[in-house]
Amino acid sequence: MSVPFTTWPWQHWAAERPDAVAIRLPDQSITWATLSSQIEIYAQGLLEQGIKRDQLVAAIAPNGLPLLGLLLATMRVGARFVALNPRASAPELQAQLAQLDCDAIWYPEGSDPLSAETLAEPVSSMLRLHLQPAEQPRLVPVTWQPSRAVTLTLTSGSTGTPKAVVHSGLTHLASAAGLLAWLPFEQEDSWLLSLPLFHISGMAIVWRWLYRGAEIVVCAPDQMETLLMQVTHASLVPTQLQRVLDSDAVASLDLKQVLLGGAMIPVSLTDAARERGIECWCGYGMTEMASTVTAKRANASAGVGAVLPHREVMLQDGEVWVKGETLCLGYYRNKTVFPVSEQAWFATKDLGHWQDEELHITGRADNMFISGGENVQPEDIERVLLAHPQISQAFVLPIDDAEFGQRPVAIVSVSAESTPYREQLVAYMQTQVAAYRRPVAYYLLPQDVAGGIKVSRAQLAQWLAQDR
Ligand code: 4YB
């Protein structure tokens, strides 16, 4: 990909279309010209507080203008930005900050995500940043160098210990360019920042906006449903779309495209959306590849589409390997960026196959377990459960068993909990899958695990072992 900008993307758009709206908020619009000058002033504010090139700035806040502004101002001074989940507990956040060895931390005035009185070293001596305009404006002596590291994004993967994935402006822009070569997103369109900036799916929205010079719509998480009615584009995980379809808001939507991803996307869901006039795109991607790798307009097939420009996909022994211009610079450890692998290819641990030039994802290699000598792939059973009209979410996990080694149990969300869902599911599964793949127990998905964008299997396993 040839680099599309010779200067910071917002400065490019401020020169090209100064009066066009860049950011829309529930009560205010900001043009590219205003945005660009504000970023200068806030970037100078960071310099005054001592932030330097290559330092790491951590932010703990829900999506909103301050968080987005800090991301842009941090990049502007040549520092690196990492957003952390504001819903994580204080000990979790402190552990992440310590592991990242951050130079500075920002969180909104009035919030106390780290529980200040329990702050311990090294976090207690990290610089506490304020989002403030410069007192004595001066030039920010950092130029746009697209291959420099700009963001870190935590991804938990299968191990549970999050890895910090480093991307440059170039890897992010290559991701945006490739998706937008297929998915129409024009300058008069608006993309809702509908997923958190601490996840690659939220970060990718920012770079599509910067790449196109279109409009981004930013709101607090509790205003999302209202603002969905005022945008042309949104990225959603399948459960979010299900919630939208179940709500009254669906009647007044003006959405042109919804990009889905992050988990298996049931065809029944995209069919139901189309019936309400919402066109869906299905994507498959991961943090290491700056979000989407394959995509397609939703259709009758359960596949995840073909490989987007600037990426490559290869299957080896049934596992998906990826590479390309969107591949991250590496993982961040001990203030150093380590390449994700020795080769150019990254092993996703996802299992897949090609069918009619389309990639199909069948599950993750590391979710497989053995029951009575037979291989059980949980996602195969989950797909059958999800085809049941009452089930909106399904997870299958192993529990230890003296006779079989391990056996599957199912954790589900059902549409009407009052009905005797267990009996129905037992009868249904008897007609659908072989005995060794039938769950030996059914549980309802606990609310505290269901929140957030992705249900963690590690957390579900812990819940099964302790709290059930
Ligand atoms: C899948 C999967 C799929 C991921 N089927 N398993 O902009 C986007 O592409 C987007 C739009 C809406 C919602 C999410 C996204 C994403 O970026 C998702 C990217 C993501 O989930 N990254 S991750 O690092 O947190 O997890 C990656 C893993 O998620 C993959 O390795 C797969 O196991 C799984 N996954 N899309 C089935 N369509």
Q: Determine the pLDDT at residue 418.
A: 62
Q: Determine the pLDDT at residue 63.
A: 97
Helix (H, G, I), strand (E, B) or coil at 395: strand
The rounded Å distance from CA 427 to ligand 1 centre is 32
Q: Which atom of ligand 1 is nearest to the CA of 200?
A: 17
Q: Which atom of ligand 1 is nearest to the CA of 286?
A: 22
Q: Determine the pLDDT at residue 159.
A: 57
Q: Determine the pLDDT at residue 436.
A: 94
User: Distance between CA 63 and CA 84 in Å, rounded?
Assistant: 11
Mean pLDDT of 286-308: 98
Q: Which residues line ligand 1 (CB under 6 A)?
A: 155, 200-201, 204, 235-237, 259-265, 283-287, 291-292, 304, 348, 350, 361, 364
Structure tokens at 151: 């963001």
Name the DSSP class of 385.
Answer: H
Name the DSSP class of 390.
Answer: T
Whether the predicted pLDDT of 305 surpasses 70: yes
- Give residue-wise pLDDT tens across range 397-448: 999 999 999 999 999 998 776 677 889 999 999 999 999 999 999 999 998 8
Whether the predicted pLDDT of 343 surpasses 70: yes
Whose CA is closest to atom 33 on ligand 1? Answer: 350
User: Distance between CA 397 and CA 456 in Å, rounded?
Assistant: 11
Structure tokens at 267: 């065809």
The rounded Å distance from CA 260 to ligand 1 centre is 9
Whose CA is closest to atom 29 on ligand 1? Answer: 262
User: Distance between CA 217 and CA 201 in Å, rounded?
Assistant: 15
The rounded Å distance from CA 293 to ligand 1 centre is 9
Whose CA is closest to atom 27 on ligand 1? Answer: 286
Q: Determine the pLDDT at residue 306.
A: 98
Place 158 in a pLDDT band, splitting at 50, 70 and 90: low
> For 27-36, 107-116, 250-259, which range has the lowest pLDDT when averaged over its residues?
250-259
Type of residue at 345:
W
Q: Determine the pLDDT at residue 452.
A: 76
pTM: 0.96
The rounded Å distance from CA 302 to ligand 1 centre is 15
Mean pLDDT over each residue of the chain, to the nearest integer: 94
User: Distance between CA 179 and CA 69 in Å, rounded?
Assistant: 24
For 228-371, where are the alpha helices, taking DSSP H only? 238-246, 267-275
Whose CA is closest to atom 4 on ligand 1? Answer: 262
Residue whose C-alpha is closest to residue 425's, from 447, 407, 446, 443: 443
Whose CA is closest to atom 19 on ligand 1? Answer: 286
How big, in percent rounded to 5, are the helix, strand and coil portions of the chain?
35, 30, 40
Place 133 in a pLDDT band, splitting at 50, 70 and 90: very high
Largest CA distance in the chain: 73
Q: Which residue among 153, 185, 286, 455 is best mutated to probe the pocket of ligand 1, counting the most ligand atoms within 8 A of its Cβ?
A: 286
Buried b / exposed e over 216-238, threshold 16 CB at 10 Å, is bbbbeeeebbebbebbbbbbbbb
Whether the predicted pLDDT of 144 surpasses 60: yes
Q: How many CB atoms lie within 10 A of CB 124?
A: 12
The rounded Å distance from CA 50 to ligand 1 centre is 37
> What ipTM is given for this predicted complex?
0.99
Whether the predicted pLDDT of 110 surpasses 60: yes
- Whether the Cβ atoms of residue 377 and residue 364 lie closer than 8 Å to each other: no
The rounded Å distance from CA 291 to ligand 1 centre is 7
Q: Determine the pLDDT at residue 221.
A: 87
The rounded Å distance from CA 362 to ligand 1 centre is 13
Q: Which atom of ligand 1 is nearest to the CA of 285?
A: 19
- Give residue-wise pLDDT tens across range 271-280: 999 998 899 9
The rounded Å distance from CA 401 to ligand 1 centre is 32
